A and B are shown apart, each in its own frame.
Chain A
Amino acid sequence: MAINVEQEHAVEILSGNEGIARGAWEAGVKLASAYPGTPSTEILEELAGYKDIYSEWSPNEKVAMEVAIGASMAGGRALVCMKHVGLNVAADPFFSSSYIGLEAGLVVVSADDPGMHSSQDEQDNRNYAKFARVPLVEPSDSGEAKDYMVWSYDLSERFDTPVLFRTTTRTSHSKSLVTLGDRTETVPVVKLGRKYTKYVMMPQNAIARHVVVEQRVKDLEEYAEDCPFNRIEMGDPKIGIICSGSAYGYTREALPDASYLKLGMTYPLPKKMIAKFRSMVDKMYIVEELDPFLEEAIKLMGIKIDGGKELNSLLGEISPKSVAESLAKAGVPGINPDLLVELRPTAEGLPNRPPTLCPGCSHRGVFTVLKKLRVFVSGDIGCYTLGALEPFNAVHCSTCMGASISMAHGMAKVQEPEAAKPSGARPDYRNKVVGIIGDSTFYHSGVTSLMDVAYNKGNTLTIIVDNSTTAMTGGQENPGTGKTLLGQPSHSVDLEALVKSLGIKRVTTINDPFDLELVEKVIRTELEAEEASVVITKYPCVLQFKIKRPVFEVEADLCIGCKRCLQAGCMALSLTTDANGDSKVEIDPAQCNGCGVCAQLCKEDCIKRPAPAEGGKA
């Protein structure tokens, strides 16, 4: 969203993610790879606009990491970006990259999500730096994101190590002023070097490399003392604060006059600098979000602190107000009084506004049917996780990317075989397991799960809801969309052929997932099958592809206010009371997207598409 980013410009307002992209460009990065994930997605979207850099969406974070490691081994500065849980997926190559080092700088961005705005956990990925023995860099705002990025490449090359560059939702998505610089072109390495002992991680080589890695940590400890991004800012010497990342801005706001040790590199830590700061202040506190990462390290140095994690919480985000309140409780003077005002109570009983499937969403019909059939639904990560919410309540577990299929397989394997039913009895599907997964998530890590189902003779039903985009993160391309991040036309995976090649014989594609009768018939048939099967629903995301179909209307005279249609869980529907005091449903034409699910749920046949629109399904 920045205006004139590539133009020669002194100062620009950028998000942290845009700052990272700009920093990568200025550092002469040649390749950037990622899989989309909130709050990291915009880095690559922004980089796609810089023509000097090759950037790509990889199918998952592990692949993205390996692409970047390869580029850096071949002498091109490389960037790989992911959300915090993405680093779990990419952990295997990440740990090895610490051992092998690189030819040109390699920076790994992990955008963490404290408070879980859009995530399944709030792990503190600073721990990964210590775990993998690589330096950890944490910017506090967009200006630092840009500057630290440029510096991280020098750090990476100087110490022959990947750098873990950790942001949080607030540093990635907040905007602040950035002073722009020029691009530094790095010299390309023309020949691929053969460095058997450095690059081939067989045991005898890895044993020797581990020695190098541990020495590197010691060297980095020395360097941390002079690192330009660790600094002491002396104010009132009575109170000293150690912090990094977004906690720095929050604490400056809460305690404007205190002294600060502001850390830009938080692993390894500058022991001498911390001891010196301790001697310069009367009391010293550590303010950090999530884990007591700095605190544990500083306590292990034998340095006394006057307050740390016990003052705030291990849970969720901190804020200027929570920092102010926790320090006030600890008796710290000089706190910004604006942050200590007692809040008036909020209005009571206001309805919540949770996220929901869009009007016209191609997942709506599938969840309507799954709810009706009362199957156990093993869900996955994407917009369709919203099927867990009212009124569907039709996702019963959701763990991580790709887990829907493999967890359903495990569940089915331990189920007791069902007793034979008398013929003609109504089928009971309550103990049947169905996996549901989107196209992008299937390519990310569902393929191997489905391979397992086929290989190990599972009998579960997998529904792949293919809306031809990576919808939840804002509509990114993926291997099935036929386009790359850079907008070039590309091969599109033949999903049905891929599924069949894995060994699944029963594959049905539904091109009209709004046809409830059809969807129900297909799912019932596949639930009765004795072997594994896959149903693909194929309909593009209405939000991403801006699809607008003719709207439906309610014939008020016929509506009896039974609320059956409201089970479609659609924002376009609302219940009103007419002049006679009778309940009637209304459809907001501005929101309706003409999918017709509500019309099919209506038993009174009162929801119709007005003529001369094409024939509705009602």
Chain B
Amino acid sequence: MSRPTINMLLSGVGGQGVVLASFVLSHVAIEEGYDVKQSEVHGMSQRGGSVTSHFRFGDKVWAPLVSPGAADILMAFESLEALRYINWLKPSGLLVYNAQKINPSPVAAGLATYPEDIDGKIAAAWPRVQCVKANELAIQAGTVKSANVVMLGAVSPALPFKQETWEAVIRKAVPPKSVDVNMEAFRLGVATAANPSATCATGAA
């Protein structure tokens, strides 16, 4: 029985750890015996710009790019970057996003405004949404820098990979002295996915 190719798009802002998250995903999929293609762009776009990474796995993967409208999962590290790429999901697709707001440079310069009630806009735009307070959970784990690993934990139940494989790969991928913090970050992410919420807005269920 051939396994279908799963398409995942990661979106965020330069410096949020999108590249490391993609690295972990690729290695987990390889360890589990899949063919993998993954693509990201380095260079100018990383200076505070919008960053995406494409991750695909299956029995045989031809192209390294996820196509708009064909993503099974959109994993967004920032709210505006969730809303920006939401239409890359296929109709049955799942959005997992970190409820963090980072002002783009035109907003910081007072030339544009960050969308109001972005949580509400995301919930209204898509039926399958899981909002994660990844920064809060990362601080709880030990450092806000582990928010990307919290996000991996939160997305992990939606992927067909074993818990041991995730943990073994994260152990190898992060600096030795931050292994414990990242393990805790991953577990907190998994735990939050057990009670998913479509919105992180204050007062929401």
A binds B: yes
| Residue pair A390, B36 in contact (C-beta under 8 Å) | no
The answer to whether A179 has its CB under 8 Å from any CB of chain B is no
B70 located at the interface, meaning its Cβ lies under 8 Å from any Cβ of chain A in the complex: yes
Contact segment of B100-108, B159-167, B190-198:
B100-108
Residue of A nearest to B61 (CB): A176
Query: Contacts A174-B37, A343-B87, A351-B104: A338 and B70 contacting too (C-beta < 8 A)?
Result: yes
Contact B43 A472 (CB under 8 A): yes
| B26 cross-chain contacts in A, Cβ below 8 A | 13, 175
Main secondary structure of the interface of B (DSSP, over half): mixed
Instruction: Compute how far the CA of A496 lies from the CA of B61 in the bound complex, rounded to whole angstroms.
Output: 54
- The residues of A that contact B203 with a CB separation of less than 8 Å are none
Q: Which of B41, B44, B61, B110 contacts A472 (CB 8 A)?
A: B44
Residues of chain A from 302 to 344 with CB closer than 8 A to chain B in the complex: 319-321, 324, 338-339, 341-344
Flag if B49 contacts A344 (CB, 8 Å). Answer: no
In B17-41, the 8 Å CB interface with A consists of: 19, 23, 26-27, 30, 35-41
- Which stretch (A37-45, A420-428, A482-490) binds chain B? A37-45
Q: Indicate whether A350 sits within 8 Å of B109 (C-beta atoms), given known contacts A117-B41, A341-B90, A356-B48.
A: no
Q: Which residues of A contact B73 (CB under 8 A)?
A: none
Q: How far is the CA of A41 from the CA of B36 in the complex (A)?
A: 23
Which of chain A's residues have a CB closer than 8 A to the CB of B64? 141, 170, 174-176, 246, 249
Quick one: CB contact mask for A161-177 with B, threshold 8 Å, 1 for yes?
A: 00000000110011111
Cβ contact within 8 Å between A391 and B111? yes
Closest chain B CB from A217 CB (angstroms): 32
A-contact bits for B103-135, CB 8 A (1 contact / 0 none): 111111111111100000100010000000000
The answer to whether B42 touches A351 (Cβ under 8 A) is: no
Docked-complex contact B43 and A38, CB < 8 angstroms:
yes
A259 to chain B, nearest CB (A): 15
Complex CA distance for A575 and B104, rounded to whole angstroms:
12
Find chain B residues with CB under 8 A from A338 CB.
67, 69-70, 90
Chain B residues with CB under 8 Å of A346's CB are: 84, 86-87
Q: Which of A63-71, A448-456, A561-569 lines the interface with chain B?
A: A561-569
Q: A13-B30, A354-B49 are in contact. Are A341 and B39 (CB under 8 A)?
A: no
A507 interfacial by beta-carbon distance below 8 Å? no
Q: Is A357 an interface residue (CB 8 A)?
A: yes
Q: Tell me whether A339 and B70 are in contact (CB under 8 A).
A: yes
Measured CB to CB, the closest approach of chain A to B198, in angstroms, equals: 17
A602 within 8 A of B: no
Chain A CB within 8 A of B156 CB: no
Contacts of B90 in A (CB 8 A): 338, 341
> Is there an interface contact between A356 and B49, defined as CB atoms closer than 8 Å?
yes
Chain A contacts for B44, CB-based, 8 A:
38, 117-118, 355, 472
CB-based contact A3/B43 at 8 Å: no
Cβ-based interface call for A345 (8 A): yes
* Contact code string A287-305 (vs B, CB < 8 Å = 1, else 0): 0000000000000000000
Give Cα A567 to B109, complex, Å.
Answer: 6
A267 within 8 A of B: no
B172→A3 contact, CB < 8 A: yes
A211 at the interface (CB under 8 A from B): no
Q: Which residue of A lies closest to B83 (CB)?
A: A347
Known: A174-B64, A252-B63, A321-B68. A353 touches B108 (CB 8 A): no
Q: Is the pair A175, B39 in contact by a Cβ cutoff of 8 Å?
A: yes
> Considering the chains assembled together, what is the distance between the CA atoms of A38 and B44 in angstroms?
8
A274 located at the interface, meaning its Cβ lies under 8 Å from any Cβ of chain B in the complex: no
CB-CB nearest in chain A for B121: A347
Contacts of B49 in A (CB 8 A): 353-356
* Cβ A173 vs Cβ B87 within 8 A: no
Q: How close is A569's CB to chain B, nearest CB, in angstroms?
A: 5
Known interface pairs A117-B44, A343-B87, A474-B42; A354-B65 also in contact (CB < 8 Å): no
Complex CA distance for A346 and B49, rounded to whole angstroms: 19
Question: Which A-chain residue is minimally distant from B88 (CB atoms)?
Answer: A343
Q: A173 near B105 (CB under 8 angstroms)?
A: no
Q: What separation, in Å, do the CA atoms of A489 and B63 have in the docked complex?
A: 42
A118-B45 contact given A13-B36, A563-B110, CB 8 Å threshold: yes
What total of chain A residues lie within 8 Å of the partner, measured CB to CB? 67
Q: B46–A3 contact, CB under 8 A?
A: no
Q: Is the interface of A mostly helix, strand, loop or mixed?
A: loop
A174 to B40, CA, bound (A): 6
B37 and A353: CB pair below 8 A? no
Q: Are A390 and B109 in contact (CB under 8 A)?
A: yes
Which B residues lie within 8 Å of A347 (CB)? 83-84, 86, 115, 121, 125
Compute how far the CA of A13 lies from the CA of B24 in the bound complex, rounded to whole angstroms: 11
Q: Are A569 and B109 in contact (CB under 8 A)?
A: yes
B residues near A39, Cβ cutoff 8 Å: 41-43
Closest to A573 in B: B108
CA distance A253 to B112 in the complex (A): 39
- Min CB distance, A378 to chain B, in Å? 20
Asked if A358 CB lies within 8 Å of chain B CBs, one says yes
State whether A117 and B43 are in contact (beta carbons under 8 Å apart), knowing that A174-B37, A338-B67, A355-B49 are contacts in the complex: yes
Cβ contacts A544-569/B at 8 Å (1 or 0 each): 00000000000000000001001101
**B104, A358: Cβ atoms closer than 8 Å:** no
Q: Whole-angstrom distance from the CB of B40 to the nearest CB of chain A?
A: 6
Out of A13, A250, A571, name the residue touching B108 (CB < 8 Å): A571
Question: Are the C-beta atoms of B105 and A571 separated by less than 8 Å?
Answer: yes
Instruction: Report which residue of B19, B42, B102, B104 has the largest number of chain A beta carbons within 10 angstroms of its beta carbon.
Output: B42
Q: Does A383 interact with chain B (Cβ within 8 Å)?
A: yes
Are B111 and A390 neighbours in the complex by a CB distance under 8 Å? yes
Tell me how far the C-beta of A21 lies from the nearest C-beta in chain B, rounded to whole angstroms: 15
Give the residues in chain A near B104, CB-CB below 8 Å: 351-354
With A and B bound together, what is the CA distance between A26 and B2 in angstroms? 34
Residues of B within 8 A of A173 (CB): 39-42
Cα distance, A248 to B62, chains bound together (Å)? 8
Identify which of A3, A117, A349, A350 contacts B45 (C-beta below 8 A): A117
**CB neighbours of B69 from chain A (8 A):** 321, 338, 341-344
Contact assessment for A355 and B27 in the assembled complex, using a CB-CB cutoff below 8 Å: no
- Which residues from chain B contact A174 at a C-beta distance below 8 Å? 37-39, 54, 64
- A residues with a Cβ closer than 8 A to B are 1, 3, 11, 13, 38-39, 41-42, 117-118, 141, 169-170, 173-177, 246, 248-250, 252-253, 256, 319-321, 324, 338-339, 341-347, 349-358, 383, 386, 389-391, 472-474, 563, 566-567, 569-575, 590
Further 14 A-B residue pairs, CB within 8 A, beyond A176-B61, A350-B80:
A11-B30, A41-B42, A117-B41, A173-B39, A173-B40, A175-B37, A250-B62, A341-B90, A343-B69, A474-B42, A566-B109, A569-B109, A573-B108, A574-B108
Please provide the 9 A-B residue pairs with the shortest distance between their CB atoms, ordered closest to farther: A118-B43, A38-B43, A174-B64, A356-B105, A355-B47, A355-B49, A353-B104, A351-B112, A174-B39
Selected A-B contacts with CB under 8 Å, 20 pairs: A1-B23, A3-B172, A3-B173, A38-B43, A118-B43, A173-B42, A176-B64, A246-B63, A248-B62, A320-B63, A321-B69, A338-B67, A347-B83, A350-B80, A354-B106, A356-B48, A389-B105, A569-B109, A573-B108, A574-B108
